[in-house]
Structure 1
């Protein structure tokens, strides 16, 4: 069994990005990412802080807007509108989830596609589905693809199962795998017999937010397992969606949690932001 070490790979990628960002600085371009947080969700605050820290560490200017829970939808849209027309800002990210009174889809659509470094805008989704590299790809699925490539895992012809159908991970993940030549099944909460799919899979990517969803009896020998899940147990321990202790005994490759996909997501956010700044310069 080989651990897919996203932490180590992300550090390598970030150092390469640091050099690219320095070249942009020498040309007079200060890369800038604006992050908007609405409300006081503890997990969201942690994510925003980690993104701001990563930006600072690698020479990217970070603007963090912390808005009150009661911020209206129009106030949020007005801020995004201002950032859309600010030439000094190259990436705009609205931290999810948003309060219930705000229409998430409307907010995500309001971010101009050229600054949508999360890759959620319909235009960027369209580029992905057409297999084009013109737009921005969602950070977590992109990080998974980079991780698989770094370990020279050939996806062509692999029977693959993606567990989770979210627009953030599951659906774009499946599309990227299809574009890479894999055969893909998407499973979700309404799937009748999950085990029927996973037992035959060469590659399983789990992004459901459910502790121990994938167990040893559900996988075959030599399976490749990517665990995107992040769950906090009552004792404070962070675990994924996979029964790591037992599934790892059958896997050929597997990601740890933490230290697998999470660090790669941050690295891809920085990569997309620098890509946006480079586009602006050109």
Structure 2
């Protein structure tokens, strides 16, 4: 029977370190601040926002929510974003996506200041992620995956890792981060042939496709570590992941649950990035 590895101990360990760092910054007269930019009021955005505000508050990071109407025009939105870029008190900016259809992500991603972009929206941070440049900010959720693996002492060096999903939200960035930890990475997607055959050879399996309980025991190698990044709602209206946890827990050595897994670490990574941005902007 595999171990169910939860996110809370990982989040708490990160928060403890950050709280000390923020206290140190405040002793120098500097308070890190995050601006959350939200267009409209999607339930999933508000849920994440609530968690982020709570986490930042517990660490001592200041926050400000900038909420804009669902129908805001692109020019007006860009003007608002430029103001936040120029606000010296703001160290980190988190923008909720996807946008309503009148806002073009392909244009807006070039507007956000890269040094404040704490969730890897700017192409500059995407490039830094590809290069393994530590001055950039990788997306928070893929970074949370790596932090969980490190916290539970999973050896990534030389390990065979399979990632199911190739989106810029999880799949591609987590593959790069695993590569930076010297894992050998295979990316699987909707066109992959015989996917269970490929993934069942992996020591580490990361799943982020958005299909409820898609991954069953035949996808999992005996003794593999399984990280489930999916968030779905099943037929009973309960939250569940992309992995059928009950079916896979007997085969995996460790597996993250949904809820209480990767998601609970993501807001700590967001806070970590805000503190790092604050230090860089203050040449510390």
TM-score normalized with structure 1 length: 0.96
| CA distance in 2: counterparts of 1:179 and 1:13, whole angstroms | 20
Q: Is the 8 A contact 1:37 1:48 kept in 2?
A: no
| CA distance in 1: counterparts of 2:151 and 2:137, whole angstroms | 20
SS in 2 for 1:92: strand
Deviation, 1:146, is: 1.1
Query: Any unmatched runs of 5+ in structure 2?
Result: none
Write out aligned runs for 1:106-185 (5 A): 106-185=107-186
1:248-281 Cα offsets, whole Å, 9 max, x none, are 1100111111111011111100000011111122
Query: Any unmatched runs of 5+ in structure 1?
Result: none
In structure 2, the partner of 1:244 is 245
SS in 1 for 2:110: helix
Please provide the CA RMSD for this pair: 1.3
| CA distance in 2: counterparts of 1:114 and 1:85, whole angstroms | 11
In structure 1, the partner of 2:263 is 262
SS in 2 for 1:110: coil
Deviation, 1:234, is: 4.3
In structure 2, the partner of 1:200 is 201
| CA distance in 2: counterparts of 1:234 and 1:74, whole angstroms | 41
Deviation, 1:132, is: 1.9
Deviates more, 1:203-212 or 1:38-47: 38-47
| CA distance in 2: counterparts of 1:136 and 1:226, whole angstroms | 21
In structure 1, the partner of 2:16 is 15
Deviation, 1:42, is: 1.2
In structure 2, the partner of 1:230 is 231
| CA distance in 1: counterparts of 2:196 and 2:164, whole angstroms | 11
SS in 1 for 2:18: helix
TM-score normalized with structure 2 length: 0.96
| CA distance in 1: counterparts of 2:58 and 2:135, whole angstroms | 27
| CA distance in 2: counterparts of 1:93 and 1:244, whole angstroms | 31
Extract structure 1 runs of 4+ deviating beyond 3 A.
none
